[in-house]
A and B are shown apart, each in its own frame.
Chain A
């Protein structure tokens, strides 16, 4: 114990006159109060955890030539147009005619754009499902981080895999863009790009009343 017991009952002795011995016990209750008050203060005024971030690589602006752009096979690409009111319009390019197919409207829910992306991704890249298996193996420690990275990067970079072209209209919100980038992570899509929307696509949005 922290206090020194000086003997509480000093006054009962007879005979020699002594100075009254006072107890050195101190009541610590106010100090505890103070301590907890300060803890509360620090807990409220400080930020504990670092924020989460999402990394994105944009292409270098001037280095894109038309020849490089057209390297993508039309059948591989899906174009997502982020429209107003939290809606997504997506369409494919018909590989035979080179014309865009009928646009479809969906939303950001689990059964919406995610289902489409997963289905399309799976049909083009047979190994997409194994990413989940690798992830599980990583979690239980069967494979190490480097192996996991190498394997997932190999699958994500699959030559004939789905390529997602994200085009946000001016009516869409920042949240929509983050949501769609999040879907790229969830669906393990390795190849995607954020591209400016074109007039043709704006017309397309007008056609479905989402301009």
Chain B
């Protein structure tokens, strides 16, 4: 009896289609997303059922971490440069061009303005590790108020978003809200994470 010959088939699969899919997805992710800004603090936001989205641009983000430090952040490179120049004039702190450039790339910071040049001189990896005591916002020395005020002078469309940690104590939140009210920002947002309504 003759043997039945089973034809051997090659096991190699054409990978071209898979490459197409992979790069299509890659393109999608590159276009649809933006990089996470490197934030000096991790903040665990409380959840709410609110479904309003934060606008993408023209947002001042005030981050309050669980150690009650306040961080200031705003988007827009030119806006940031302009704000820094104005703040430097007001507090008579000199900034070099390199420092201004560096500031325009900084997403958020939390130091008094006197320490800002030192912070800007650091490399970005060092900066993440450097201790940041928070922007002063008490009644004696309220730099936060000036940052907000100057930001609004430079870009009058900005909205303020407060991003606090769950464990942040209320006094500092109250202080920030009072500062905002003082600067006539009476409408602002609290950044929260999503929660399903029961």
Q: Which residues of A contact B47 (CB under 8 A)?
A: 178, 182
Q: Cβ of B54 and Cβ of A50 under 8 Å apart?
A: yes
A185 to B198, alpha carbons, bound, how many Å?
12
Q: Per a CB cutoff under 8 Å, which of B22, B48, B182 touches A182? A: B48
A55 to B64, alpha carbons, bound, how many Å?
17
B94 within 8 Å of A (CB atoms) = no
B14 within 8 Å of A (CB atoms) = yes
Q: Cβ of A28 and Cβ of B18 under 8 Å apart?
A: yes
Q: Cβ of B56 and Cβ of A48 under 8 Å apart?
A: no
Which of A31, A56, A174 has the most chain B CB within a 10 Å cutoff? A174
Within 8 A of A (CB), among B8-57: 12, 14-16, 18-19, 22-23, 25-26, 29-30, 32-36, 45-54, 56
Q: Cβ of B194 and Cβ of A43 under 8 Å apart?
A: no
A174 to B168, alpha carbons, bound, how many Å?
5
A4 within 8 Å of B (CB atoms) = no
A156 to B171, alpha carbons, bound, how many Å?
30
Q: Which residues of A contact B182 (CB under 8 A)?
A: 61
Q: Per a CB cutoff under 8 Å, which of B22, B170, B181, B197 touches A58? A: B181
Main secondary structure of the interface of B (DSSP, over half): mixed
How far in angstroms is the closest Cβ of chain A from B60?
Answer: 13
Q: Cβ of B49 and Cβ of A42 under 8 Å apart?
A: no
A177 within 8 Å of B (CB atoms) = yes
Known A46-B35, A185-B50: A54·B189 in contact at CB below 8 Å? yes
Q: Cβ of A168 and Cβ of B174 under 8 Å apart?
A: yes
A118 to B81, alpha carbons, bound, how many Å?
49
How far in angstroms is the closest Cβ of chain B from A170?
Answer: 5
A100 to B54, alpha carbons, bound, how many Å?
40
Q: Cβ of A52 and Cβ of B48 under 8 Å apart?
A: yes
Q: Which residue of A lies closest to B12 (CB)?
A: A27
A57 within 8 Å of B (CB atoms) = yes
Q: Cβ of A178 and Cβ of B23 under 8 Å apart?
A: no
Q: Cβ of B15 and Cβ of A53 under 8 Å apart?
A: no
Q: Cβ of B35 and Cβ of A55 under 8 Å apart?
A: no
Q: Which residues of B contact A170 (CB under 8 A)?
A: 169-171, 174
Within 8 A of A (CB), among B139-198: 161, 163-171, 173-174, 177, 180-182, 184, 186-195, 197-198
A55 to B52, alpha carbons, bound, how many Å?
8
Q: Which residues of A contact B170 (CB under 8 A)?
A: 82, 168-174, 176-177
Q: Cβ of B22 and Cβ of A53 under 8 Å apart?
A: no
Interface size class of B (residues with CB under 8 A): 35 or more
Known A28-B15, A35-B19, A58-B186: A50·B46 in contact at CB below 8 Å? no
Q: Cβ of B16 and Cβ of A3 under 8 Å apart?
A: yes
Q: Which residues of A contact B22 (CB under 8 A)?
A: 31-32, 35-36, 39
Known A53-B161, A178-B46, A182-B48: A47·B54 in contact at CB below 8 Å? no
Q: Cβ of B165 and Cβ of A174 under 8 Å apart?
A: yes
Q: Which residue of B lies closest to A59 (CB)?
A: B186
Q: Which residues of B contact A186 (CB under 8 A)?
A: 49, 197-198
A175 within 8 Å of B (CB atoms) = yes
Q: Cβ of A110 and Cβ of B198 under 8 Å apart?
A: yes
A45 to B54, alpha carbons, bound, how many Å?
20
Q: Which residues of A contact B46 (CB under 8 A)?
A: 174-175, 178-179
A82 to B195, alpha carbons, bound, how many Å?
21
Which of A43, A57, A170, A182 has the most chain B CB within a 10 Å cutoff? A182
A115 within 8 Å of B (CB atoms) = no
Q: Which residue of B lies closest to A28 (CB)?
A: B15
List A residues at the B interface (Cβ < 8 Å): 1-3, 27-29, 31-32, 35-36, 38-39, 42-43, 45-48, 50-61, 82, 110, 168-179, 181-182, 185-186, 194, 196
Q: List 6 A-B contacts (CB under 8 A).
A: A53-B192, A61-B182, A173-B170, A174-B167, A181-B190, A182-B48
